[in-house]
Structure 1
């Protein structure tokens, strides 16, 4: 038997709408932006950490400040309705409770005119000079005030990422010595992480007070170390466990005993721990999972490392996050440093998304990151080489790279799928009903 849709006018379309198109069809066609539409997105790279070379502002280095209208036009031209977009917190916040919104107002108005829905990124790896670094215990309160003011000022915005990649922020700032405070200690790492996590939680409360239906996408890096040693090494196992600590604190999820003891030993007090465990943050919470092939690494017996690519892959890592926290997930970042390879990588990541959806996991969105190439991310912004990383849909002259055509093709084929398969049954429509029968 094969399922056939028979419409009121006698038209027949074969089964194939398991993706849940808005009108009960296959789901192909460019995104519509309707509430039930899957969230296809790109992002504009907006990191701004302090390094030993000074401030690295990717919005400026990649030319967005001078090409922002063209950048927004490119997003619109692709047919995308969602854009991960960061406000430059380090420039807007000029002191405690004082803000300069002039440039941000212009940029946000440009998005609104084009009908682009921003996923507003409020803190991306750096802080205003006056606030210091992530060791500052006053960070959560000051940042929450900024988040609330942003939500109030841009009341038409519903989607937010309060603090991008808390784990990466804390690791690079407190343990690896690359950004901001540039410490190389576990205490520095745990302190930065708890402050950034608290900042995100308080920001959620501030945002929801202004926008009760806010959608909060907590983007975090999906990482894993593979131990290539017959006798498992405890430090590598602990490293993998600690990569979940930011989300454990955000979602009041009790960590395992090794993670708890390590955090308590290195700067998380019992009172602070109990504060995190007291409750979950408000808002419609989505876990954003950022995945690059370089996120998985194989640690050889001599401690040297190899890029593991996708031994587990986004599918497995995101599935684990969903089981652990019971939240919808979104693929919020991906790319490779090889422009010619990126089309295949795009499709591979999309197959991961589809497989997870088939298994019943609510995957609500997908992002190619970023719109344009980036600069010096091959060294994590630690070295000032001015090297262009060809990761974008477009190069820095705003000319399309091969992955742009691949994303266009993907959008044409899947752009109108619903957030969950068969989600069209929940939509109100004036279109005539179709009857599904077995023939």
Structure 2
């Protein structure tokens, strides 16, 4: 008599699959699909509400995107749309320039309303404290008193909203400094290397001191430093010194923020343009407190091709978020978040979203801890095709919803991603590795 094989015995005793207990991470376990859940290990799917407020025309015009895009009038509706999307995380910027009226003086009237609604809806805010502008009384990014004034504001926010844990103290420091101090478009509108270095060191110092003040009141704070992922390709047999320098300077804000010594070329450039040895040593003392996440913003517009005649072309996704962010990760070895992306063409937005998500999945498969992804922004923006330099009132169709709060095709595409991947964990086996609620303690990652 032929002896039964093990599989026949198992089927006779336990049935043909769907075994009791398999649902707990076995063959019948959950695959990570379904809308995001409120769990510390859940991958952070997010959107953001565009909140830039630089000045142009020698400080006479304030480009407040919260006003121009109607958020001050429709904030409840906008926050409701975040939940309608099925999202639990929102990059949200309070208008620093209009809240901080002077030393020790604040106007919380709008902020209190919006923050109360965010809390009521159960949205996790990544609170953006400075987004391309400062209050009129501070002046601009050349003001050496900016770090102390901004630190006062950051502490006031942390004390007023103690339930907030996630912060971006200063959004896109490199972009802020370059467009204000080197490109001559925003705020001080300078076109000098010294203007750039001065703005950058003041913004990094402001971020560090704000981080310190936040940690005093929230010692488990999570800092998501959103920075632009940049690269310039030069189609010359011998690339120019300036292009090579620019491709090094894209790291400078994070080098100073994370106490990573820059190259000798960059160090000399900074010293030539106003950074003192004492200031350099201060930046190199160590990383800011709390849990630090390196956020990389990638738009196709960030990647450029420089032709032999010196002209610049937007290259759109030659290396892409994956390759460029990998450079940043290998430099800093910090947990990563894809903190901004979009395109201006509404019909192209779904495929751009899918491409970004493929990059995120590939990065995760390669062992890089990617904690979140953000489509930026929730609603359309205005005049970003000219970097807010000119008041054209041109609508950029890059939102999940248009300015009438009607969904664009990318909203449905994002919902499809959430349906398929919404409950994946921030890293494999993330249920075992939740973001702790204990105070930050370790000085370095091991």
Shift of 1:317: 1.3
SS of the residue corresponding to residue 346 of structure 2 reads coil
From 166, 171, 176, the counterpart of 2:178: 171
SS of the residue 2:412 aligns to: helix
Shift, 1:289, TM fit: 0.3
Q: In structure 2, what is the equivalent of residue 395 of structure 1?
A: 402
C-alpha deviation, 1:425, in angstroms: 4.0
User: C-alpha displacement at 1:257, in angstroms?
Assistant: 0.6
Q: Does 1:8 align with 2:20?
A: yes
TM normalised by structure 1 equals 0.93
80, 97, 113: which one pairs with 2:104?
Answer: 97
Q: Distance in 1 between matches of 2:208 and 2:23?
A: 52
Q: Secondary structure at the match of 1:84?
A: strand
Q: Which runs of 5+ in 2 are unaligned?
A: 1-15, 436-446
Alignment correspondent of 1:315:
322
- Give yes or no for contact 2:235–2:306 (8 Å, CA) kept in 1: yes
- Do the aligned partners of 1:5 and 1:12 also contact (CA within 8 Å) in 2? no
- More displaced 10-residue stretch of structure 1: 47-56 or 417-426: 417-426
Name the CA shift for 1:239/1:410 in 2 (closer, same or farther; >3 Å).
Answer: same
Per-residue deviation, 1:267: 1.2
Q: 1:137 to 1:424 in 2, by over 3 A?
A: same
- Distance in 2 (CA, whole Å) between partners of 1:239 and 1:198 is 21
Question: Is the counterpart of residue 202 in structure 1 residue 209 in structure 2?
Answer: yes
How many Å separate the matches in 2 of 1:54 and 1:404? 32
- Report the Cα distance in structure 1 between the residues aligned to 2:211 and 2:320, rounded to whole angstroms: 30
**Partner-residue secondary structure (3-state), 2:91:** strand
Q: Deviations over 1:77-127 (max 9, x none)?
A: 111000000010000000012111121001100101100010000000000
**2:25 corresponds to 1:37:** no
SS of the residue corresponding to residue 131 of structure 1 reads coil
CA contact (8 A) 2:23 2:30 kept: no
Deviation at 1:14, TM superposition (A): 8.1
Counterpart residue number, 2:305? 298
Deviations along 1:391-432, one digit per CA (max 9) or x if unpaired, are 00000000000100000000010000001012234479xxxx
Indicate the residue corresponding to 1:28 in structure 2.
Answer: 33
Give the structure 2 partner of residue 21 of structure 1. Answer: none
- 1:423-434 → structure 2 map (5 Å cutoff): 423-426=430-433
- What are structure 1's unaligned runs of at least 5 residues? 18-23, 429-439
| Aligned CA distance change for structure 1 residues 269 and 358 (closer, same or farther; 3 Å) | same
- d(CA) in 2 for partners of 1:147, 1:228: 44
Asked if 2 retains the 8 angstrom alpha-carbon contact of 1:5 and 1:13, the reply is no
Shift of 1:9: 5.5
User: CA 1:426/1:280 → structure 2, altered by over 3 Å: closer, same or farther?
Assistant: closer
Aligned-pair CA distance for 1:324: 0.8
C-alpha spacing 1:25/1:171, structure 2 compared with 1 (3 Å): same
2:391 is aligned with 1:373: no
Q: Which residue of 1 is the match for residue 421 of structure 2? A: 414
In structure 2, the residue matched to 1:342 is 349
Find the aligned partners of 1:139 and 1:194 in 2 and give their Cα distance. Answer: 10
Q: Distance in 1 between matches of 2:26 and 2:279?
A: 57
Instruction: Give me the whole-angstrom Cα distance separating, in 2, the residues matched to 1:150 and 1:424.
Output: 31
Aligned-CA RMSD value = 1.7
2:371·2:427 contact (CA, 8 Å) conserved in 1?
Answer: yes
1:351 maps to which of 358, 367, 373: 358
Q: Which residue of 2 aligns with 1:20?
A: none
**Structure ID, larger Rg:** 2
Number of residue pairs the alignment of both structures matches: 418
Distance 2:316 2:22 in 1: 50
Counterpart mapping for 1:197-236 below 5 A: 197-236=204-243
CA distance in 2 between partners of 1:27 and 1:70 (Å)? 29
User: Which residue in 2 is equivalent to 1:46?
Assistant: 51
Distance of 2:350 and 2:279 partners within structure 1: 45
Aligned to 1:69: 76
Q: TM-score, normalised by structure 2?
A: 0.91
With CA pairs under 8 Å and 6+ residues apart, which has the higher RCO, 1 or 2? Answer: 1
